[in-house]
Structure 1
């Protein structure tokens, strides 16, 4: 029974790893397409930030899938060696996720601040309309 469960988990690990790869590939292609569009049409350095944010989101999701596959891999009767490897890999991937998520949040905040600056504050809009 344990062998059957191990075989099923191994199949699931392959599927989840394939999903991770697919998410990262789709994200890279999507970001590359947006990069080309921005480079050709807009030529605005600030527009590249949205491309980075998009790629970052896909990478975060891909890393989450990879972490899930690592957890699945050790789901059936793990050895201490496998648990140690999982702990190391999970720590590294969690740190990558945390730093990438933090960078994405900072980029979003900068984009929002730039957007507010270009649109002006609500009080500034009222003053402009009144004159």
Structure 2
């Protein structure tokens, strides 16, 4: 029983979990990039209007934010067992960078959504304000 709960076994188990969570993050980012690329190609073929690419960027941004959260979770797991002061410092730096990336990415997504909503409201207002023919 002691061998099953040994620190080595625990480290190996957490290492496996870290790899799985990192893989999940990488898959989320890859899928998001693939979906965004496909949507980009479809949009590029249909129109040259730059405004049509905003939803593609927003969707990719959501995937990136989620992928970064997975990556941060793997970093936290990595330092869960007997972390050294150096590992704690590295985690703090990585967490700060990823949190800042997520913050600015989230803010940009929110701003873009707001602009899309305003444009949609203006477009529906313009069509309803037009006199019937």
Q: TM-score, normalised by structure 2?
A: 0.90
| Structure 2 counterpart of 1:8, from 3, 10, 13 | 13
Which 4+ stretches in 1 moved above 4 angstroms?
A: 127-131
1:51-106 alpha-carbon deviations (Å, 9 max, x no partner): 10011001000100000000000001111110000000000100000000000000
Supply the distance in 1 between the matched residues of 2:16 and 2:22 (Cα, whole angstroms). 10
Q: Are 1:66 and 2:71 an aligned pair?
A: yes
Q: Which runs of 5+ in 2 are unaligned?
A: 1-5
| Match of residue 57 from structure 2 | 52
Which of 65, 78, 84 is the aligned partner of 2:83?
A: 78
Q: Residues 31, 130 of structure 1: CA spacing in aligned structure 2 closer, same or farther, 3 A cutoff?
A: closer
Between the aligned partners of 1:129 and 1:3, the Cα distance in structure 2 is 77
Structure 1 stretches lacking a partner, 5+ long = none
Question: Which among 23, 27, 46 is matched to residue 22 of structure 1?
Answer: 27
Query: Over aligned residues, Cα RMSD in angstroms?
Result: 1.8
TM-score, normalised via structure 1 length: 0.91
Deviation at 1:35, TM superposition (A): 0.3
